[in-house]
Amino acid sequence: MAKINTTEVISNSKFNRFHFGLLAWCFIIILFDGYDLVVYGTVVPVLTEEWNLSSVEAGAMGSYGLFGMMFGAIFFGTLADRIGRKNVIAISLILFSLFTLLCGFANTPTMFSTFRFLAGLGLGGIMPNVIALLTDYAPKTMRSMVVSIVLCGYSFGGMLAPMLGILLMPSLGWESIFWFAGIPLLILPFMMKRLPEASTHLIRIGRKEELIRILSKVSPENKFDIKDEIVEVKKIDTNLPILGLFKNSRALSTLMFWIAFFMCLLMVYGLNTWLPKLMIEAGYPLNSSLGFLVVLQGGAIVGTIIIAKLCDRYGSKKLLVPMYAIGAVSLTLLGMGGSSYVIYTLVAIAGACTIGAQNLVQAYVSQYYPPDMRSTALGVASGIGRIGGMLGPILGGFLLSISLPIQMNFIAFAIPGLIAAVALSFVPAKMAYYKHDHSEPTEEIVIESNKMNAL
């Protein structure tokens, strides 16, 4: 009777059909997550006129969804380490799809804001758990790449929102692009059948047969038997999972990640909400201004894919710190104007170094912490980041309301990028879990087949 170490089996596996299927489903989920997030920025110019909203009121409406995301990220992130990532992904998807769909039927700012808050609960819970599940099953040599490819789905969704806005809003109204968000509800049964549950959760609840079946797909060249013993490391205290983020010399890293998430999401959501409006203020027409959102997301896709490969080779921290700094510089230069070619180039660079950097830092965090606290680490960091995300639209609305020079608006969004770069530079890379998978004090648990079958 052999012993199976699931961490070693998964880490040493080669990318195959199982990984591709997991990647594809997660990509689709994150695509709609990105669509639902960016869709508000697409309709802001129309809603401000139709409902006679001030810039501050419109910014506050944009923040209600992010307020829900803060609670959703923390609650569903910690919940997943108890009830399983797959279950929480399903709950989150239902929430954000249903209530974003209902936004298309709202006829008052209050109703619209309520639906955005409820959708935000699901939006906050989906990404930490998708990233954690991907990291759970990705081969060690390409974890950053796999996570980053899926997170590009966010940018594709972000591009889809303004593109549909350009095509549909003139004839069908702003409501039509919210109806599109209901599609995930139709694919949910197929998704639940195909997505695997995290190996750590399957071990904890005693579903050994399911675990063996999944491992056979992860590493088909190995042969596993139901009589084999499953070896895992001791789990964190699921009653107080957040405390684990500060144990084993992780306190500084945790705080610095929180600062980086806060600052980066302030930039990301501020730009997603106000970039079209800022460009209109700079003299561009609505359709052209929505085009800048497409370029912003396109830059994020290209930047994420290119840098992710380098992160797997050289380490995430070495590349993320300069990315944040370059993003700040590009935003500052964007406010100074120039030719259309220069402006589009700067917007693309800003997308790569804000949204792209946020994609990559999430992949970094998912690898930095042990598997049993991965969802908690991502969920809490995302929740803290959402506070910055809430402030982004409010900050943009306030700056527009006081009629500052356009350059000052962009500089205001550039400063958080520099702060994020400084914060991330203080994260001690040597404390990362992937550097020494089991070097921190752990207690080996051997779960015998008869014990698991009894469960």
Least confident of 142-146, 159-163, 301-305, 336-340: 336-340
Torsion angle, CA of 191/196/201/203, rounded to 10 degrees? 150
Q: Does residue 444 register a pLDDT over 50? A: no
Torsion angle, CA of 171/173/174/179, rounded to 10 degrees? -90
Total Cβ atoms within 10 A of residue 407: 14
pLDDT, residue 453, reads 40
The CATH number of the domain where 385 resides is what? Answer: 1.20.1250.20
Q: In which domain, by residue range, is 38 found?
A: 3-454
Q: What is the DSSP string of 410-437?
A: HHHHHHHHHHHHHHHHTS-GGG-GGGST
Average pLDDT over residues 291-308: 82
pLDDT, residue 114, reads 93
Least confident of 72-76, 93-97, 446-450: 446-450
- Residue 389: both structure tokens together: 């995300």
Structure confidence by residue, pLDDT tens digits, 217-267: 988 888 877 777 777 655 544 455 677 788 878 899 999 999 999 998 888
Percent pLDDT > 70 in the chain is 90
Contact 353, 329 (CB under 8 A): no
* Distance separating alpha carbons of residues 5 and 131, to the nearest angstrom: 22
Domains in the chain, number: 1
Q: Does residue 398 register a pLDDT over 60? A: yes
Quick check: pTM over 0.85? no
H/E run at residue 296: helix 286-314
Q: At 369, is the pLDDT very low, low, confident or very high (cuts 50, 70, 90)?
A: confident
Structure confidence by residue, pLDDT tens digits, 1-51: 677 778 788 888 899 999 999 999 999 999 998 888 778 878 888 888 888
